[in-house]
Structure 1
Amino acid sequence: MKTKKSELGVGLVEVLVALILLAIGVLGYTALQLRAVDASNEALTKSQATVLLRGLTESMRANRDGQGSYPAAVQSYVSMTDPNFGAPTSCLEASCSFAQAAKYDAYQTARSALNFGIHLTMTNCPGSAGGVKRQCLFAAWDATKLTATDYSKCMDNSGVYKNNAKCLMMEAY
């Protein structure tokens, strides 16, 4: 079969267009995959923060007489950058007071959190005005920063999370 001179190279153009469309599809899939990996990492960090906060609240429930010591103990480790920073006496091998146990529990949790890039604090819950002050634990990671008594980068005073904040709040008692 003879082809006309004007039709020469048309097949090559069709192949090039198909390759361009395929490349756009592959780039879209790659972007989708990167977003999925980011979402998985975020979910993992949030799960780790939840486990840490739950463990600390269980320690607080077990140390009923030392509950008043936990806010200051947790706050003392909010800017922890070294796992050996302010290491208290171990309560595993020695007898400790309720306050010492609170300090030890806070240290152990903060040290574990540091391994995951999470920082913790404990302060009054958002919206807890008046006579009864509820205490909340806060965990933050990535660009969301906490100070000992300030969770404003995480949520507002009514307890609404801020856009793009990477944090978690859990009521302790």
Structure 2
Amino acid sequence: MNKLSYQRGVGLIEVLVAVLLLSIAVLGFSALQVRAISATDESVVRTKSLTIIRNLAEVMRAYPEAYVKNGTAPPFESILSTEFSDLTAAERAAVVSTIQAVVSSSATDSVVISYVKTNSDDTKTTISKTVSVDATGENCLSTTTKTVGGKIVPKQTCTINELAARDALMIKKQAADQGITINIETCPGSAANAIQQQMCVITAWNGTKAILDDTDAAACAGANGTYKAGSQCLISEAY
């Protein structure tokens, strides 16, 4: 006589194995989603950084003669009244572009630009003006006017350094609003010449510092411009 056996239902072991396989698949899919989201976020930040770098490079080209004596009192003193060739080697070393000085400084909303004005009697007067992002107050970017010879003209006019400072502040604020830090340094290997030198625009995010430093583990790159492992930043050359 043939004996027939029938299996009814599913055993506990089969259920546990099925749940285990499903869990592994779900975990793998979740990890893939996390990586995809992280890659998307990284791509968005890089796109924003490239836009900021491109805008800043255009601003640097727009003000090729905007230079200040950095590290003096007041912080941003124009050299427009002095020929660069007349400066000593030490003075030349302290001269940087206004864009670089503003971007690399701690200034966020406003800076004071000073310059020496030569009067009609050959005496000199130091003029200081506050340049801000929103052009508030009585600075050169204010919208107030005055009447001269029957014509309405701006009450105050901007020097090239003041215009450069304002544009630099605007780009710096745009970067900060996106969680991006920005800095400008002399590119590794560039000639030590403060005029028309090769500059590197550095943007960094997620804890990476926008600097070129061999000793700082959080720096974007080393002093030779080589990216550090794990750094989240971009370096672009500008002139």
TM-score range, shorter chain: 0.7 to 0.9
Within 5 Å, give how 1:27-42 maps onto structure 2: 27-42=27-42
> Does the Cα contact within 8 Å between 1:77 and 1:106 map onto a contact in 2?
no
Identify the match of residue 105 of structure 1 among 153, 167, 189: 167
Deviations 1:53-110 (A, max 9, x none): 10011112122322622211211147x5xxx465824348563211111211111011
Tell me what 2:158 maps to: 96
Tell me what 1:63 maps to: 63
Within 5 Å, give how 1:11-30 maps onto structure 2: 11-30=11-30
Q: Identity of counterpart residues, as a percentage?
A: 35
Runs (5+) with no aligned partner, structure 2:
68-96, 112-129, 136-140, 144-155, 214-218
Runs (5+) with no aligned partner, structure 1:
none
* TM-score normalized by the length of structure 2: 0.60
In the TM superposition, residue 47 of structure 1 has moved relative to its aligned partner by 0.8
- Pairs aligned (count): 163
* Structure that is richer in strand per residue: 2
Tell me what 2:220 maps to: 154
Q: Which deviates more from structure 2 when the two are superposed, residues 154-163 or residues 108-117?
A: 154-163
* TM-score normalized by the length of structure 1: 0.81
Structure-2 separation of matches of 1:85 and 1:92? 13
In the TM superposition, residue 137 of structure 1 has moved relative to its aligned partner by 1.1
* Structure that is richer in helix per residue: 1
Tell me what 1:126 maps to: 188
RMSD, aligned CA: 2.6
Higher RCO structure (Cα 8 Å, ≥6 apart): 1
Where 1:54 maps in the other structure, the secondary structure is helix
Structure number with bigger Rg: 2
Tell me what 2:81 maps to: none
Structure-1 separation of matches of 2:171 and 2:9? 69
Where 1:154 maps in the other structure, the secondary structure is strand
Q: Which deviates more from structure 2 when the two are superposed, residues 57-66 or residues 16-25?
A: 57-66
